[in-house]
Amino acid sequence: MVDSTTQSSRSEDSPKPSTLAYPDPTIIPPTTAHTHTIIILHGRGSNGAFFAEPFLSSQTSSGRTLRQHFPGVKWIFPTAKKRRAAAFNRATINQWFDLWDLHDQENRKELQYEGIRETTAFLHHLITEEARLVGLNNVVLGGLSQGCAMMLHAALSYQHDPHSSGGKGVSFGGFFGMSGWLPFADDILNVSIAAGQEEDGDDDFFDFEDGDTDNNSDSTSAAQLRAANLIRDIADLPVLGSDLTTTTLPFVTIPILLGHATDDEKVPIQLGEQARDVLMEIGLDVTWRSYDFGHWYKVPDQIDDIVDFLREKVGLVNVEDAEKI
């Protein structure tokens, strides 16, 4: 049984805006000194507490749970607002954003905007609060299914003020996604390709300086800035201007682990592969793993991979490694 507490993540001097009235997240505190925070989103129709219990109870091949491997981690499992689901006769369910047809995302595409806008604001607030405690470089993001999709958008649109966390890092610690996809993937890919082809900087919407595409590195930077601004526009966030260098975009150096089942009946693996390919197209460090376990996470294989990722790519201290010293 997971020992959990449910509480607000906001501090007294930074109230959560009333317009973002999301349920308080399920928070699983660290069992030793707090070094990292991992924020994970559940899938459509679920909630934070329901997702947290089996996930943190799952054991790796060594017989340990994630909490036992990483006792210094604070785990946060937010819960989505209840929204009308157009695809289910407007039934009210927990979902991060509405969606008509995952297999044809261009169909009634506009249904996604409101939820993505509201949830992005909610998650950015939560991320900023945790960054104040441990530094952005010690905040890891993740999600399952629609939670993975939503968290990718939140990560790609986030802009961090290093002064708000005492200068402790300007990049996320890492990201791991399970059985997910990337909303508006085709649009992101198109603007990224365009960034590599265009030589002038007269595009007011994307607003980057002349010369950003003069070489491969600059093309990648331009693609990243274009991708960020496209996603920020979807979330009704201000466009990032030409005075911003992409080294300050928190997602640029984020290590990413994406896992997907070859026989996923809800989110076809092709959508996970598309997310992988688009993220790699804009120059991100993506590790890909596939499994044969339907729409969920495979135990212990996928939990083992998450532990290895957090240890090797993010730099978390694994109890098993410490015991060998």
**Per-residue pLDDT tens over the stretch 44-70:** 999 999 999 999 999 999 999 999 999
| Domains identified in the chain and CATH numbers | 14-324 (3.40.50.1820)
pLDDT on residue 214: 45
Backbone angles phi, psi at 82, to 5 degrees: -80, 130
> Which ranges of 72-172 does DSSP label H, i.e. alpha helix?
111-134, 146-157
Average pLDDT (307-323) is 89
Instruction: Report residue 182 as tokens.
Output: 């990337």
- Highest-pLDDT range among 11-15, 89-93, 108-112, 168-172: 108-112
For residues 293-312, give the mean pLDDT. 96
pLDDT at 319 (0 to 100): 84
Do the beta carbons of residue 144 and residue 42 sit within 8 Å?
yes
Using only the alpha carbons of the chain, give its radius of gyration: 19
The CA angle 138-38-302, to the nearest 5 degrees, is 115
Q: Where are the alpha helices (DSSP H) in the chain?
A: 48-57, 66-69, 111-134, 146-157, 185-197, 216-234, 269-281, 301-309, 319-324
Give the residue-averaged pLDDT of 309-320.
93
- Among 3-17, 226-240, 244-258, which stretch is predicted with the lowest mean pLDDT? 3-17
Please report the pLDDT score of residue 162 as a whole number.
59
| pLDDT band at residue 16 under the 50/70/90 scheme | very low
* pLDDT at residue 204, as a whole number: 47
How many other C-beta atoms can be found within 10 angstroms of the C-beta atom of residue 162? Answer: 16
Residue pair 51/23 in contact (Cβ under 8 Å)? The answer is no
The answer to whether the Cα torsion of 147, 110, 207, 125 is positive or negative is negative
Read off the pLDDT band of 324 (50, 70, 90). low
CB atoms under 10 Å from CB of 161, counted, come to: 12
243: buried, middle or exposed (CB in 10 Å: 19+, 13-18, 0-12)?
A: exposed
Q: What percent of the chain has pLDDT over 90?
A: 66
Q: CA separation (Å) from 8 to 16, 55, 129, 176, 290?
A: 9, 21, 11, 24, 35
Do residues 72 and 34 lie in contact, with contact meaning Cβ atoms separated by under 8 Å?
yes
| Per-residue pLDDT tens digits for 153-193 | 999 999 977 565 555 567 999 999 999 999 999 999 999 88
158 contacts 124 by C-beta, under 8 angstroms: yes
In this prediction the pTM is: 0.87
Least confident of 56-65, 132-141, 213-222: 213-222
Average pLDDT of the segment spanning 190-210:
60
Instruction: Check residue 216 and give its pLDDT.
Output: 62
**What's the pLDDT score for residue 165?**
54
pLDDT (average), residues 113-125: 96
CA distance 168 to 161: 10
Q: Which two tokens stand for residue 64?
A: 């340990």
How confident is the model at residue 160, as a pLDDT?
79
Spatial contact of 136 and 250, defined as CB atoms under 8 Å apart = yes
Is pLDDT above 70 for 318?
A: yes
Contacts 24+ apart (CB under 8 A), 1-6: 1/53, 1/57, 2/28, 2/52, 2/53, 2/56, 2/57, 2/67, 3/28, 4/28, 4/49, 4/52, 4/53, 5/29, 6/49
